[in-house]
Amino acid sequence: MIGKPNRLTVIAPHPDDETLGAGGTIARFADEGVEVSVLIVSGHLPPLYKPEAFETTRREATEALAILGVHRVEFLQVPATTVHQRPVAEINGAINKFVRATNPEWVLLPFPDRHIDHRTIFDASAVACRPVHADAPRVVLAYETLSETHWNVGGIEPTFVPDFFVDISQHLERKQEALIAYASQVHEAPSRSVEACTALAKFRGSQNGCDHAEAFKVVRIVV
């Protein structure tokens, strides 16, 4: 049996990815006394967005993560869709610095899906979580992100086939509240919406004998 961590770190490519993929898990662990830290790597910054767009999403993220009970949040402020253009050592080093500073036993990172930022940040996060030092994370899981993960082309690209699930039945409402806080990002059905996230959680729960769940792909588990 895998016991809960004392410290959990979540790596998010953009504001809302952490809530879409693991909001219920974050809320559950936070309520159980786990110290949860979130790193948001990229954001809505020039040249694709106006500066005020970033400030809007940062305010939304701060509110959403407070709802979920997050202890610490940091924004790297890399412009969206340009993460892969930065030197590999720069991105790897920044994520590694946060992981070492928060010293987590569990790390949740984005599945390498349709969004190029997600793929680049998955690679960097996996590097940061390598078991090369005594206090390396013992559980590393990749989460799914609605509107990106399920658009991968099966048989050609990595396909999200989960093998680890967290029962969030008692924390679904908190996830929904946090999603609503992302007013500029969460849209009406069918794709990036509270309804779609709720339906996915219901489906994942039905796979595992509970009302609602979040699903993950195991990168590494050390018991």
CB atoms under 10 Å from CB of 171, counted, come to 24
Nearest Cα to Cα of residue 120 among 9, 13, 217: 13
- Summarize pLDDT for 113-123 with one digit per residue, the tens: 888 999 999 99
Question: What is the pLDDT, as a whole number, of residue 189?
Answer: 62
Handedness of CA 151, 153, 91, 18 (dihedral sign): positive
Taking a C-beta distance cutoff of 8 angstroms, is the pair 160, 111 a contact? yes
Integer-rounded Cα radius of gyration of the chain: 16
**Beta strand ranges found along the chain (DSSP E):** 7-12, 35-43, 72-79, 106-110, 139-143, 164-167, 213-221
Residue 146 CA to residue 139 CA, distance in Å, equals 23
pLDDT confidence of residue 49:
87
Q: What is the pLDDT of residue 209?
A: 95
List pLDDT tens digits, range 141-185: 999 998 889 889 988 989 999 999 999 999 999 999 999 999 998
Per-10-residue mean pLDDT of the chain, 223 residues long, equals 90 96 98 98 89 92 98 94 92 96 98 92 96 93 92 90 97 97 83 91 97 98 92
DSSP output for 132-171: -STT--SEEEEE--TTTGGGS-BTTB------EEEE-TTT
**In angstroms, rounded to a whole number, what is the distance separating the alpha carbons of residues 196 and 79?**
27
Tell me the whole-structure pTM to 2 decimals. 0.95
pLDDT of residue 154: 87
What's the pLDDT at 107? 98
Q: The sheet that has 213-221: what strands, in order across it?
A: 72-79, 35-43, 7-12, 106-110, 139-143, 213-221, 164-167
Residues 169 and 204: their CA atoms lie apart, in Å, by 11
Contact 60, 40 (CB under 8 A): no
